[in-house]
Each structure stands twice: as C-alpha cells, then as structure tokens.
C-alpha cells in the first residue's frame, strides 16, 4: 500500500535569532520560503496559511519549546536527530536556506529518515534547570579548588585531601598568618564557600522535587549508590517509561551501548555511542564506579561487574564500569515499569532456583501445588 504524501511539508532550520523555513507542496514543488523571528508568535502566520502541515526541524537549543508551541498550533511536528542527517551537515553547499529545503524534502518522503527524537515536557525541562545549575556550580567550585591547591603549592604549603564543603576552612588553617597569601586567595576561598552553600540549597530542592513531584526516585534510591541527584536526573531524562518499548533499549537511548561498524566480514570493536543525555550517562558511570569500588555493596550488579573485570587489564575494568552503568539503567527502567521493590540478589536467587529445579525436576510442581 502506497503511503500518501502530506499536502504541505515545511522544513525549518533553527537559529538563535531567526529561523529559515522552506515549504513544499505534495508534488515536491517549492511554494514558499523565508525567515521567521525566534519568538513564540513567529510561526502564527504559517499556522494560518498552512493549517495542519507537516513541520520538521533539527534538534537544538530552541527545538523543545518550538516543538511544543507548534503542536499547540495543530502542526504535525517531527524533530530530527541532527547526528543522523549526514545529507545536511556533510553537504558541500551547506547554508541555512539549503538546510531548510533539505529537511523539508526528507520529511516529505519519510519521517523515519529523520530518526525523530521526543522531547520531554516543558515542566520537566524547568525542573531539570535545578540539576543544570547544580552541575555548573560543582564544576566551577572544582576548578577554583584546583586553582587554590596549585597556588599554595608554589608557596611551599599543601592542603590535605578533604571534602569541598570544608576546603575553605582547611585552606585558611594551612595559610595561617601569611597575610599576603590570604589577601590574594581570600576572594577565591569566599567564592568556594558561597558556592558550597548554594549547592547545599539546590540539593534540598532536588530532594523536595523527588519527594513531592517524582516519587519514583524513592524506588531508584533503593539501589545502593544511586542518590537523589542521579535518580531525579534519570526520571527527568526518561519522563515517560512507556516511550521506551523494551527495557534493554534504554542503554541505546542514553548512549551506553557500543557503536557498530559492520561491513561484510569486518565487524569492528568500537566504544560507546555517547548519544542521548550525557549528564545522566556520567552519573550512571559514577554510580557504577561506586558499586564496583571498595565500599560497594555485595549485590547482583557488583558480582556482574567484578566477573567482567576479572578478565584482567585496565581496559577490562573500564568495560566493566560501562557494562554495570548500562545494566543499572536497564534495572531502574524495569523497576519503574513494574513498580517492584529492588532486590539486590534477584539474579542470584533465580540462578539458585534453576539449579534446584535441575537437581529435582518435581520441586517446581510441588511449589505450584503448595501455592
């Protein structure tokens, strides 16, 4: 059965101040093009002129709110995965006008070629600002601490390892009566202490969001090593667990699966794809490092990772960490979909049950009769 082409297809190349658009009719002829201002009312004229048209754009900074705005105007909206559109970013005649036309022509033929992405809601994006602000402050504080440590070393001092929250106090104790050094580094130490206070305040807001708005985070935090930040970031990145059909697919959604480059007999071993939400991916890797670390709990995840790491070498340990991060992502989505509590020894118990059934085939039937 032949798929009917849309009456009108509009390709939009998003910019920071203006957007370039290109309009095609059902036969693929250009019927309009131009420039729109980057404001919410900028698409109103197109909505009146081409009601219900198919609109395609590349994912970007402005695509989340524009996508939601256009859906409200009655458009059929598709947000293209920019990493999949080689026809655009590898074109020798690349320009905004040509990009808009290329997006329109691809969307007119088959929207699956766009490898469309689904944005989370504006409410979830607003809540995610808290995580973004915290991450920026943590990175800025880390940079300042490293700068102070390097500076005091040049004066013959050394600040012992300590938490970021008490670094300012430690630094002042080390510098002691060195007034010149305190006058130079004092503003940096004050900034570090102020950042620590702000981070603590944001931590409280993250806990409030998890407690009041995203109750699923309580189940996520049953997994030792998963804290309020990771659980909330994961919940906001997925938002709707139903958008991912198979739980195993969440690894690809977050870019924690190996890339593939297979042709004929050649099938190269490559690193992970690193697509999707990089912040959540980093947090999951940090959780995996804790689970496999010296203080990690004895659980299925840890046993799985240690078994991979036993193959030896630094590369094996890195692969084990990534594998545990991927398995953790799948586990969290499974808990979300089923609503079950976390069992750290579920896999081990299944293995023991299978072994018992192999030794006594009638054991399973007796359990069923008892039930």
Looking at the structure, tell me whether residues 133 and 190 fall in a common domain: yes
Do the beta carbons of residue 59 and residue 80 sit within 8 Å? yes
| In a domain? residue 282 | yes
Looking at the structure, tell me whether residues 246 and 311 fall in a common domain: yes
pLDDT for the residue numbered 178:
82
DSSP-derived pairing of the beta strands 54-58 and 30-37:
unpaired
Poorest-pLDDT segment among 115-124, 224-233, 322-331, 356-365: 356-365
What are 149-180's pLDDT values in tens digits? 999 888 888 888 889 988 988 898 888 878 88
Domain's final residue, options 114, 136, 152: 114
| In a domain? residue 363 | no
Query: What pTM did the predictor assign?
Result: 0.82
**Range(s) of the domain holding residue 313:** 217-259+270-352
Looking at the structure, tell me whether residues 127 and 199 fall in a common domain: yes
Q: How far is CA 263 from CA 84, 266, 267, 268, in A?
A: 19, 5, 6, 9
Looking at the structure, tell me whether residues 243 and 314 fall in a common domain: yes
Looking at the structure, tell me whether residues 342 and 298 fall in a common domain: yes
Looking at the structure, tell me whether residues 106 and 178 fall in a common domain: no
| In a domain? residue 2 | no
What is the spatial distance between Cα 332 and Cα 287, in angstroms, rounded to a whole number?
12
Q: How far is CA 84 from CA 15, 105, 365, in A?
A: 19, 15, 52
What is the spatial distance between Cα 158 and Cα 77, in angstroms, rounded to a whole number?
58
E-strand ranges in 26-162 read 30-37, 54-58, 76-80
Looking at the structure, tell me whether residues 57 and 13 fall in a common domain: yes
pLDDT tier at 360 (50, 70, 90 boundaries)?
low
Looking at the structure, tell me whether residues 237 and 320 fall in a common domain: yes
pLDDT for the residue numbered 335:
95
Q: Give me the number of domains the chain comprises.
A: 3
């Amino acid at each position: 059965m032949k798929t009917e082409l849309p009456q009108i297809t509009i390709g939009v190349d998003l910019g920071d101040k203006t957007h370039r658009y290109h309009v095609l009719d059902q036969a693929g002829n250009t019927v309009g093009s131009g420039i729109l201002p980057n404001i919410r009312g900028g698409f109103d004229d197109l909505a009146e002129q081409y009601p219900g048209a198919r609109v395609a754009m590349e994912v970007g900074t402005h695509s989340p709110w524009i996508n939601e705005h256009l859906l409200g105007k009655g458009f059929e909206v598709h947000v293209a995965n920019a990493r999949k559109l080689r026809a655009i970013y590898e074109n020798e005649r690349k320009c905004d006008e040509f990009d808009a036309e290329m997006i329109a022509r691809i969307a007119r033929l088959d929207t699956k070629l766009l490898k469309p992405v689904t944005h989370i809601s504006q409410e979830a994006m607003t809540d995610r600002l808290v995580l973004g602000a915290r991450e920026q402050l943590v990175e800025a504080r880390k940079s300042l601490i490293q700068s102070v440590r390097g500076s005091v070393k040049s004066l013959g001092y050394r600040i012992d390892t300590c938490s970021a929250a008490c670094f300012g106090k430690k630094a002042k104790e080390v510098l002691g009566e060195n007034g010149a050094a305190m006058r130079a580094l004092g503003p940096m130490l004050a900034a570090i202490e102020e950042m620590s206070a702000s981070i603590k305040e944001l931590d409280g807001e993250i806990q409030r969001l998890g407690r009041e708005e995203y109750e699923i985070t309580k189940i996520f935090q049953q997994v030792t090593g998963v804290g309020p930040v990771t659980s909330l970031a994961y919940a906001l990145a997925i938002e709707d667990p139903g958008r991912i059909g198979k739980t195993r697919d969440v690894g690809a959604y977050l870019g924690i699966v190996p890339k593939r480059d297979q042709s004929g007999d050649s099938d190269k071993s490559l690193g992970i794809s690193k697509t999707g939400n990089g912040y959540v991916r980093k947090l999951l890797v940090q959780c995996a490092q804790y689970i496999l670390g010296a203080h990690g709990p004895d659980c299925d995840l840890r046993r799985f990772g240690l078994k991979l790491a036993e193959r030896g070498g630094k590369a094996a340990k890195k692969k084990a960490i990534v594998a545990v991060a991927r398995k953790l992502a799948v586990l969290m989505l499974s808990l979300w979909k089923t609503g079950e509590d976390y069992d750290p020894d579920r896999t081990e118990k299944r293995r023991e049950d299978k072994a018992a059934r192999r030794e006594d085939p009638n054991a399973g039937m007796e359990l069923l009769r008892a039930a």
